Structure 1
Amino acid sequence: MTQNDQEIRQRFGKAIRRRRRELDITQEKLAELAELHRTYISNLERGDANPTLDMINRLAKALDISIAQLFTD
C-alpha cells in the first residue's frame, strides 16, 4: 500500500465519522443501518479498511448522503 492509498482511506474514514457525528448516531447504529459489523465501521473510520463499492453505497445510504459527498471535503 502506498502513502497515497493510506491518505485516501484516512480521508474517507474522517468523512464517515464526520457525517455519523452530524447525524448523532453511534458506530453501532451506523453498522445496523448499513448492515455491517461495528468493528468494520471502526476500521473504516481509522482508515484501516478498504471498502468495496457495495460497502460505500451501503454507507452512503445509511448516512443519507451521496457517494460523491463522501469523497469531497
Structure 2
Amino acid sequence: MNKLKKIRNEKKLTVRALAKKADVSPSFISGIENNVANPTLDVVKRICKALDKKIEEIF
C-alpha cells in the first residue's frame, strides 16, 4: 500500500471524498495510488491540503 492510500484510509476518506476535497476525479486519485497516473505539483499540493499533510509525508 502506498503512502497516499495509507493516509487516506487512516483519515477514513473514500477515494471519492478525497477527490472532491482535492478537486480532481476519483479515477485520478485511484491512478495515483496505483502508480499509473502522475499528478502535477498543483494537484499534489491540493491533495496534501485535503489531507492536512506535507508533501514529503505523502509522496
Bin for the TM-score computed over the shorter chain:
over 0.9
Q: Among residues 52, 61, 72, which one is paired with 2:49 in the alignment?
A: 61
3-state SS in 2 of match to 1:49: coil
Q: Among residues 29, 34, 41, which one is paired with 1:41 in the alignment?
A: 29
Q: Which one has a bigger Cα radius of gyration?
A: 1
Unaligned runs of 5+ in 1: 1-12
Whole-Å separation in 1 of the counterparts to 2:18 and 2:38: 17
2:7 corresponds to 1:19:
yes
Structure 1 moving runs of 4+ over 6 Å: none
Aligned-CA RMSD value: 1.2
TM (norm. structure 1) is 0.76
TM (norm. structure 2) is 0.93
Q: Among residues 40, 47, 52, which one is paired with 2:40 in the alignment?
A: 52
2:6 corresponds to 1:31:
no
- The one-letter code matched in structure 2 to 1:63 is L
3-state SS in 2 of match to 1:24: coil
Whole-Å separation in 2 of the counterparts to 1:50 and 1:68: 16
